[in-house]
Structure 1
Amino acid sequence: MNSIGAWLRGSGSKSNSASTSQADLQAQEIAALEDALIGTAMIMNDDIEGAEERLRKGDSSFHHLGMCVCVFMRSILGFEKSIMAEAVTRLTDCENNAWNEMKKAQKEGRSASEAEDRVYPPGSEYSLVMADSQLMFAVVSVLHESLTEAIKGAYKLRKAFITLDEIMQSEAAYLKRKGLRSDFSKENISSSSSSTSGQRGNGSDDTDTDLDFVDADEAHSGAQTPLNYEGHLIKDSNSPEKRMSQLSLKSDSTLPQPADKPSALANSSSQIGLESSPDSDVFKNPVDAFVHSGVSMCFGALLLILSTIPPTFSRLLSIIGFRGDRERGVRMLWQSSRFDNINGAVAGFMLLNYYNGLLGIADILPSEEDAKRGAVLAYPRAKFKELLSRMRARYPDSKLWVFEEAQVLGYNKDLRGAIEILKNNKDSKMRQVAALNNFEMALDSMYIHDYPAMRDNFIRCVELNDWSHSLYYYIAGCAELELYRDAFHSDEKNESEIQLHKKKANELFRKAPTVAGKKRFLARPLPFEQFVTRKLQKWEDRAKELDTDLVDIIGVSPAAEMTYLWNGTKKMLAPELQKSEKILSWGRLTASEEVQKKIKTEIDEQATRDVCRAAVSRSLGRLGEARELLDNVLAMDKMAFKRANRDDYALPAAHYEMAVLAWWEVQKPELRETTEKGDDDDWLREKTEECQSWLDKVAKWEAFVLDARISMRVLAGMDTLRWYKREHGWTVA
C-alpha cells in the first residue's frame, strides 16, 4: 500500500478548519483500513486465529469485513455447516454496518475541489465492503444445503453487481475528467471492435457473455450516485466489466485506435488499467487503491464463477440476467493480484485454484505457446511462477501457498515432486488447509498407483474434513481392491495377504453408502455420493444374483475410473499411464470364469472401460486407438444406460472424448492421422467445427449423475473454441 503520510501531506496545505477536520477524518479512515488490511493479511499467512484476535480490536467496517473473510475462508475451505451458518450471520451484520457508514460518508461528503482529485465518490469504500459481503454471502448460500438460502444468495449477487457497476462507472467518469485514455467511451470501443474485426477477416464474434441485469428502476441514495439504475436493455459492448478489463496503464498501449478518426488522447503519457502498477499516481490514495483492487477482484470472481456453471443451469440464470465471462474475469483477477493487500491475495488464490483446479480437469485448452502470446484461457506457467514467488514472499509462513506450489507441480506432471512438498506441508494452523493438502496428496497417490498411501490419505480425510465421508471411504476401498487384485494375481501367493486386503476392501465399500446423504447441495444429494450409492447398489445386486462376494463381482477398476473422473491421466507420465492400462485389463478380475463372462457383457461396464482406456491411449499419443475404442461406445444403445443402477455418464463422456481427439489434432500436428489434408486452414476449421459439434451434443445432454463434472470440461472447451475462432477470424456460431 502507498504511504499514508505521503498522501496526507498532499492535503496538508489546506488552512481552513473544515478542511483540517476532514483531513483528520480521512486519516482515521485510512488508519483503520490499513490496520484491518494488516490483520486480514494474517489469514493468508496461515494465522487465522491471530487475524481474528487483531481484527476484534477494531470496530470499523473494514475490521468487520476482515472478520467475515476469516469465517468465509473457514467455510469454503472446510464446507462445514456450522461455520457456514456463522458466516451468514456475520456477513449480514457487516453489510448492515457498511450501509450505515456509506450513508454517513455520503452525507458528510467532501469539497467539490477535493472530490475532483479522488477516483471514487464519498462512501465508495463502504459500498465495496457491502459488495464484498454480498458476494461472500452468495457463495456461502450456494454451498449451503438449503435451496431457500441459495435463492437469498442469488438476490445478494444481484445487489453486489449493481454496487460494483456504480463504482466502476465512477472510475470511468474520473478518467474522462483527467483526460486519461481508457477506451471507456462507446465510440472508442465500437471503433476498436470494428478495427479488430477488420484485421481478422469478415467473421464476427456474437458471443454475448456480458454479465447484464435487466431490471426495473431502483432508487439509490447519495448525491454522488445516479438516482436510477438503468438496466442494460440491449447487447452493449460497453458493459462495465468490459470497460474495466480494457483499461491499460502502458503509454505504448497496443489497443487499436479508430482508423478514420484518431483519438486526441492517443499520445497521453499515462493510461489506466490492466497492466497498471499498484504504485501508479492514479491510486496514490490508499482508499482508492483498496477500492480498485477490490472491484477488480470481486467482479473478476463473479464473472469467472458464473462462467463455470453447467449449461442447463446457466441458461436459466441468463433469463434473469446472470451471465459470466471467463476471459474477462480472469483478466480482472490478474489485475487485482498485483496489489499487495487482501484483495490481491484472494485474487491470486482464485487464479491458482482456477488454473490448477478447474482447468486441471479440462482438456480442450489453448497451448503453452498460446499462453506465451497472451491467451488468457491458456495455462500461464511463467506468470504462475512469478505469482507464487510474490505470494510466498508476502506470506512466508503460509502453508496455503506451499499447497498451491504442489498443485502447480502436479499440473506439470511432476506428481512425485508434488507429493514430497505435500508431505512436508501437513502441519498447517488452519485445519481446512491441512484437509486440502491431504486430499491433494491422496489424489496424487492414486495417480502414481501408490495404493497404500492412497488408502491411508483418504481415510485421514475422514478425520480432517466432514464434506463427503462416503466418497473418502469409497476411494479408500478402491485402493484396497487394487491391493487385493495385486495379491490375488501375484506369482507368489500369500493367502493371508489376499484375505486381509479382500476383507478391508469389503469393509470400506460397505461403509461408504452408510454415511452418504449427510451433506447436500441446493437441497440435493452430492453428485459423487449419488454415484457411490448407485455403484454400491449395483454391486450388491450383482453379488446377490451371481452368488459371489461383493469384492469379486467388481468389474472395471474403480480406481482407474476415479482417475478418469478427476482427469488424473492429464498429470501422468508414460509409466503411470502404462500401469493404468494394466489395471484396466479384464485379466485383473478375481471372479470365476463364468461370472467374469457375465460382467463383461454388461453394457455400462464395457462403456466405462473403453472410455477410460481411450483417455489413457490419447494421453500416450495413440489417437487412432482411442478413436476406435470410443466408436465402440458411440455405437451402443442410449436407452440401455437408463436401466436402474447403470453408470449413465459413460456415453456423454465418450462424446466429450471425441471432441478432445479433434482438438488434439488441431493443436498437435505430429499426432494427426491424415497426412494429405489439402488446405491447412480449411482442415483446421473443419476439425474445430468437429470439436464444437461433439461439445454441443454433450451440452444438450439430458441430466445424468455426474453431469456437473463433465460440464465443467465442456464449458472450458467451449470457451477455448470461442477464443480460437475469434483469433482466426472465423464466424462464431
Structure 2
Amino acid sequence: MAHVKNGNIQKMDPEDPFLLVPDKMKSQMDLETALQDSAKALDLFLNNRFSDALDLLRPWFRKKTTMVEAITEMFYKQPADDLTEEEMHAELCYAEALLQKAALTFLDESMISFIKGGMKIRNSFLIYKECDVMSTMAKNQSDQMSTQTHFRSGVNMGIGSFNLYLSLLPSKVLRLLEWMGFSGDREVGLSQLREGAASNSLRSILSTLCLLMYHLYISVILGTGEANLEESDVLLDPYIEKFPNGALILFYQARIAVLKGNFEFAQKKFLECIAAQQEWRQIHHLCYWELMWSYSFQQDWLEAYQYADLLCKESKWSQAVYVFQKASILSMMPEEEVKKTGENVEQLFRQVESLRLRIAGKSIPTEKFAAKKAQRYSAATPVTLVIPAVEMIYVWNGFTIIGKRPELTESILVTIEKAEEQLKNDPNPSEYHVDNQCMVQMLKGLCLRHLGLLDQAQLCFTHVISSENRIKHDCYLVPYSMYELGLLYKQQGDLGKATTTIENAKLNYKGYSMESRLHFRIHAALNTMGTSVAKLPPHRTSA
C-alpha cells in the first residue's frame, strides 16, 4: 500500500512490484519518469487496485488554468514546431482530458452544457490533429524522441476513435461534421487504432479498449448485429495472460463469450468479474445487465429477473429501462412464480413514465419506447403486453446473438408461436390487436431467418409491411420489418434488391419509435453491401 506525504509517494510494501516511486529528492517530475509511473498506475488499475493507481498519480495532476491564461493561450498559442517534448505530451494529455470532460458535460440537462460539451469535443479533435502533425514531424527528424512511441500511440487512439465512431453517423450528419473540421473515415479509424493497440506503449490498452467497444457493443447495437470476434480475441489475449483477474479483462472476455453464444461460460466470467473487486460498482452493474440478457436469451426468466431487480435497486443509469425490463421479464413467467417474487407487474409498468430521464431536454429513445409500450397499463382497463421481453431482445439486436445457438432460436420460436396462437384465438381483441399480431410476425420472421427458413421468414416480414394501414400504435414495425427483409435478400445474395428495400425503409418512414437506431443499422448494412454477404445459415425451404 502507499500514501501521499509532502507531495511524494511513500512506498510502504517493499515487496510490491507496482509501486516503484519517483526519487524523493526530485523537485520536479521529468517526462521519462512520468511515463513510467503512468504505466505503473495503469498496471495497478488493470489489477483492480484503483485507489493505489489514484494515489500514485494524484500528486502530479494538471493544475487548473486561470481565465487569463486560457485567453492568453488562445491568442498567443506557441507554434507546434517550437514545443518541447514535455509540452507536446502535455498537449496530448489535454486533448484526452477535454474529451473526457465533454462526456461528463453531456450528463447535464441544459442546452448550454450541451453546447459547451460540443465545443470541448471540437477543441479536443483539433488538438489531436495538431499532435498528429507534431508526430509526423518528429518521425521525419533524424534524432527521434525517445518517447515518440508513447506520443504516437496517443495520437493513434485520438484520431482513430474520432474517425471510427463518427463514421457510424448517417452520411448527411457526417458531411456537416466534416464541413466543421471533423473526419469520419471507418478504415482510417480502424487502421489508427490497430496501430496504437500494437504499439506496446502506454496507451496501447486505450486503443485496444476502443476497438473492443466498437466490435463488441457499438457494431452490435447500432449495426447489423455482427461482431468481429476474431480480432477481439486477438486483441484481448495478451491482457488475459497479463491480467487474468482484472475486472475489465474478465468483463470483455465474458462479452466475447456472449456474442459467440457461449452463455454458460459468459455467466461464469461475469460472476468472476463481480467477485474480482468491490470498489468500482459500475462494473458490477454492467455485469448485471449482461447476465440479465444472457439468461433472457436462454429463457431462464427467473434468473434474468434477479439481475433486472439488482439493476433497479443499485444502478441509476436508466431506471425507466430497468423497471420496464423487470416487468417485461416477469410477464414471461408463470403466474405462481411471479407471486413468489412479491412483485406487482402492472404497478411496475405504470412507474416507467415517471422514471424517464432527459439529456439536454431530449428523451432517451429506448426509455421513450419503453414508456410508450407501458402506457397500455395506465388505462382504466389495462391491456397486457405480448411477449415484451422477447420484443426487447430484438430492440437490443439480440436475435443475431441467439442465432448462434439454433436450439435456443427454436425455443424462442416456440414461445413466439404460442403467442401467435393466443392472439389468433383471442375472443376480445383490443385496439392493439393488429399491432401485437404484426410484432409477433416480425419476431417469428427473425427466428426463421436465423434458422435458414428464408421463404417462411419472408412471408412474415411481408405480412407486417402489408398491414401498414391497420397498425395503430407500433409504427416502428413496418420500417424495421422492411430493413429485416432487406437483410434477408442480402442473405439470398440479391444485393440490388436488398439495397433498394433497405433504402426504402430509410426514406419512406418518419416519426416512429427508435427511428435513429434503425438509421444507424441501415447505415451499417448499406456500408457492407458491396463487401460481403451476411454469414448466416444456408437457405432451407422446409421446417
TM-score by length of 2: 0.82
CA positional deviation for 1:129: 1.5
Q: In the alignment, what sits opposite 1:530?
A: 368
Q: 2:350 aligns with which of 478, 496, 510?
A: 510
Q: CA separation in 2, counterparts of 1:538 and 1:283?
A: 67
Q: CA separation in 1, counterparts of 2:254 and 2:388?
A: 25
For 1:611-650, what aligned pairs fall within 5 Å after superposition? 611-637=442-468, 641=471, 646-650=473-477
Report whether the alignment pairs 1:139 with 2:103: yes
Could you tell me whether the CA contact under 8 Å between 2:109 and 2:358 is conserved in 1? yes
Report whether the alignment pairs 1:472 with 2:332: no
Could you tell me whether the CA contact under 8 Å between 2:114 and 2:360 is conserved in 1? yes
What amino acid is the match of 1:632? H
Percent identical among aligned pairs is: 20
Q: In the alignment, what sits opposite 1:585?
A: 417
Q: In the alignment, what sits opposite 2:32?
A: 30
What amino acid is the match of 1:657? E
Q: In the alignment, what sits opposite 1:154?
A: 118
Q: CA separation in 2, counterparts of 1:481 and 1:606?
A: 17
Could you tell me whether the CA contact under 8 Å between 1:300 and 1:331 is conserved in 2? yes
Q: In the alignment, what sits opposite 2:500?
A: 693
Q: CA separation in 2, counterparts of 1:703 and 1:619?
A: 29
Q: CA separation in 1, counterparts of 2:81 and 2:57?
A: 27
CA positional deviation for 1:51: 1.7
Q: 1:659 to 1:109 in 2, by over 3 A?
A: closer
Q: In the alignment, what sits opposite 2:537?
A: none
Could you tell me whether the CA contact under 8 Å between 1:46 and 1:398 is conserved in 2? yes
CA positional deviation for 1:176: 4.9
Partner-residue secondary structure (3-state), 2:109: coil
Q: In the alignment, what sits opposite 1:558?
A: 388
- Describe the superposition over 1:108-134 as per-residue Cα deviations: whole angstroms up to 9, x where unpaired: 867xxxxxxxxxx77321221222122
CA positional deviation for 1:714: 1.8
Q: In the alignment, what sits opposite 1:655?
A: 482
Q: 1:699 to 1:123 in 2, by over 3 A?
A: farther
Report whether the alignment pairs 1:333 with 2:171: no
What amino acid is the match of 2:55? E
Partner-residue secondary structure (3-state), 1:615: helix
Report whether the alignment pairs 1:400 with 2:364: no
Q: 1:56 aligns with which of 55, 58, 61?
A: 58
What amino acid is the match of 2:512? F
Q: 1:713 to 1:107 in 2, by over 3 A?
A: closer
Q: 1:414 aligns with which of 262, 271, 290?
A: 262
- Describe the superposition over 1:177-217 as per-residue Cα deviations: whole angstroms up to 9, x where unpaired: 66xxxxxxxxxxxxxxxxxxxxxxxxxxxxxxxxxxxxxxx
Q: CA separation in 1, counterparts of 2:363 and 2:283?
A: 25
For 1:455-494, what aligned pairs fall within 5 Å after superposition? 455-484=305-334
Choose 1 or 2 for highest CA Rg.
1
What amino acid is the match of 2:228? Y
- Describe the superposition over 1:398-432 as per-residue Cα deviations: whole angstroms up to 9, x where unpaired: 21110100110111111122112212321333111
CA positional deviation for 1:49: 2.0
Report whether the alignment pairs 1:707 with 2:534: no
Q: CA separation in 2, counterparts of 1:34 and 1:470?
A: 44
Q: 1:536 to 1:29 in 2, by over 3 A?
A: same
Could you tell me whether the CA contact under 8 Å between 1:303 and 1:324 is conserved in 2? yes
Could you tell me whether the CA contact under 8 Å between 1:477 and 1:505 is conserved in 2? yes
Q: 1:562 to 1:498 in 2, by over 3 A?
A: closer
Q: 1:449 aligns with which of 295, 299, 304?
A: 299
Could you tell me whether the CA contact under 8 Å between 2:229 and 2:256 is conserved in 1? no
CA positional deviation for 1:592: 12
Q: CA separation in 2, counterparts of 1:594 and 1:466?
A: 39
Q: 1:311 to 1:458 in 2, by over 3 A?
A: farther
CA positional deviation for 1:136: 2.0
Q: 1:596 to 1:143 in 2, by over 3 A?
A: farther
- Describe the superposition over 1:227-260 as per-residue Cα deviations: whole angstroms up to 9, x where unpaired: xxxxxxxxxxxxxxxxxxxxxxxxxxxxxxxxxx
Q: 1:593 to 1:498 in 2, by over 3 A?
A: farther
Q: In the alignment, what sits opposite 2:128?
A: 164
CA positional deviation for 1:564: 0.9
Q: CA separation in 1, counterparts of 2:430 and 2:503?
A: 35
Could you tell me whether the CA contact under 8 Å between 2:350 and 2:377 is conserved in 1? no
Report whether the alignment pairs 1:540 with 2:400: no
Q: 1:613 to 1:48 in 2, by over 3 A?
A: same
Q: CA separation in 2, counterparts of 1:171 and 1:446?
A: 48
CA positional deviation for 1:439: 0.8
Q: CA separation in 2, counterparts of 1:109 and 1:539?
A: 64
Could you tell me whether the CA contact under 8 Å between 1:455 and 1:476 is conserved in 2? yes
Partner-residue secondary structure (3-state), 2:59: coil
Q: 1:145 to 1:576 in 2, by over 3 A?
A: farther
CA positional deviation for 1:440: 0.7
Q: In the alignment, what sits opposite 2:18?
A: none
Range moving further from structure 2, 48-57 or 162-171: 162-171
Q: 1:436 aligns with which of 286, 303, 309?
A: 286
RMSD value, Cα? 3.5
What amino acid is the match of 1:508? L
CA positional deviation for 1:47: 2.6
Q: 1:312 to 1:457 in 2, by over 3 A?
A: farther
CA positional deviation for 1:723: 4.5
Could you tell me whether the CA contact under 8 Å between 1:310 and 1:708 is conserved in 2? no
Q: CA separation in 2, counterparts of 1:135 and 1:633?
A: 43
What amino acid is the match of 2:303? A
Q: In the alignment, what sits opposite 2:540?
A: none
- Describe the superposition over 1:285-338 as per-residue Cα deviations: whole angstroms up to 9, x where unpaired: 12x122100000011111122122356644554553444122221221111112
Could you tell me whether the CA contact under 8 Å between 1:480 and 1:504 is conserved in 2? no
What amino acid is the match of 1:446? S
Q: CA separation in 1, counterparts of 2:153 and 2:283?
A: 25
What amino acid is the match of 1:398? G
Count of equivalent residues:
501
Partner-residue secondary structure (3-state), 1:123: helix
- Describe the superposition over 1:19-64 as per-residue Cα deviations: whole angstroms up to 9, x where unpaired: xxxxx999822212322332244333323222222111225x4xx7
Q: 1:161 to 1:107 in 2, by over 3 A?
A: closer
Range moving further from structure 2, 166-175 or 469-478: 166-175
Report whether the alignment pairs 1:292 with 2:152: yes
For 1:354-393, what aligned pairs fall within 5 Å after superposition? 354-361=214-221, 364=224, 379-381=228-230, 383-393=231-241
Q: CA separation in 2, counterparts of 1:628 and 1:588?
A: 15
Partner-residue secondary structure (3-state), 1:309: coil
What amino acid is the match of 1:509? F
Report whether the alignment pairs 1:665 with 2:526: no
Report whether the alignment pairs 1:303 with 2:163: yes
Q: 1:128 to 1:465 in 2, by over 3 A?
A: same
Q: CA separation in 2, counterparts of 1:655 and 1:329?
A: 30
Partner-residue secondary structure (3-state), 2:317: coil
Q: In the alignment, what sits opposite 2:41?
A: 39
CA positional deviation for 1:396: 3.9
Q: CA separation in 2, counterparts of 1:627 and 1:321?
A: 43
Q: 1:346 to 1:146 in 2, by over 3 A?
A: farther
Could you tell me whether the CA contact under 8 Å between 2:376 and 2:384 is conserved in 1? no
Partner-residue secondary structure (3-state), 1:702: coil
CA positional deviation for 1:379: 1.3
Could you tell me whether the CA contact under 8 Å between 2:95 and 2:124 is conserved in 1? yes
